[in-house]
A and B are shown apart, each in its own frame.
Chain A
């Protein structure tokens, strides 16, 4: 049996967290600069054909539901605005990261993104921007699993076996066998990518609210636990043996009740075609 190691040892000796592509870092910097023009951002995206193509395909997908076809990056930037475009470019890049992963995890992550958007849109006084960000939270929450699959395949096979044999949540098996769970590794990756603190803390807290360091984000992190549960109940789990539990404090922090669920699930089922479209786009 392997001896569990702590997360710092893993990151120093075993795992090399991938860097965010230079184009994405550059585009993020441009967008953060209030003097930057839409044309400059569009040019930066267009300079990377792979990201530009994927961004355009995302813009035209059912997920965004635009009434007109968008054929240039400039048009997309003008139509959607800087922040949405930043998320789009980021989504396109994350999809590339998922290429090394199993299809089940990609489908789960996209589903959680869509479920998060549905859950957030159900709340009162939510801006379009918040719903857009909600998709990113869902898409990224299990990204630590890809790191484990890539760098610790032998240990991760033991995690699979423990989940099946003992029917325990995956994060529990990861902590016991590897010494850290996918939320911790995902949080470190988000920090390395210099993602906003909100995203870092939501990823960190999605299985343990105490790990969500930004108090204002606890309801979102808790909502992500609910999205995870909904997707697993809909046969869209991260792994076929997944056992997902939502703690009572997460239910309370999410502010969601049973009465909300019929409407939320109706909207989620209606969004299934967009999940399939996004998964195909990512592959």
Chain B
């Protein structure tokens, strides 16, 4: 999905691989620390590292890609206003 900022100021990535019902459907990829490897965490395990708005954005994106609610892209209403 792309880059995001963690609450502690670090940058991370989120990868969407499945629907929100799948616990590993959204994975946070955290940067390497102290020369160690990068860490991958399911969203639920890394959720406290994220601002609530970021969590909302991730889940909405996940629903847009894998969900069954036909969520549209932001700023594209069903009918022109």
Contacts and interface: CB of A to CB of B under 8 A. Distances in A.
Interface size grouping (class) on chain A:
20 to 34
Nearest to B7: A258
A40 B4 CA distance: 58
A230 B74 CA distance: 11
Given A266-B20, A269-B63, A261 B75 contact: no
Nearest to B59: A265
B44 interface: yes
21 contacts: A104-B79, A104-B81, A107-B77, A226-B52, A229-B53, A230-B56, A234-B60, A234-B63, A235-B77, A239-B81, A257-B48, A258-B51, A258-B52, A258-B55, A261-B52, A261-B59, A262-B20, A262-B55, A265-B59, A269-B69, A272-B69
Interface of B: 20, 43-44, 47-48, 50-57, 59-60, 63, 67, 69, 71-79, 81
Contacts of B75: 235, 237, 240-242
Q: Is the interface of A mostly helix, strand, loop or mixed?
A: helix
A246 B23 CA distance: 27
Contacts of A241: 75
A257 B52 contact: yes
Contacts of A39: none
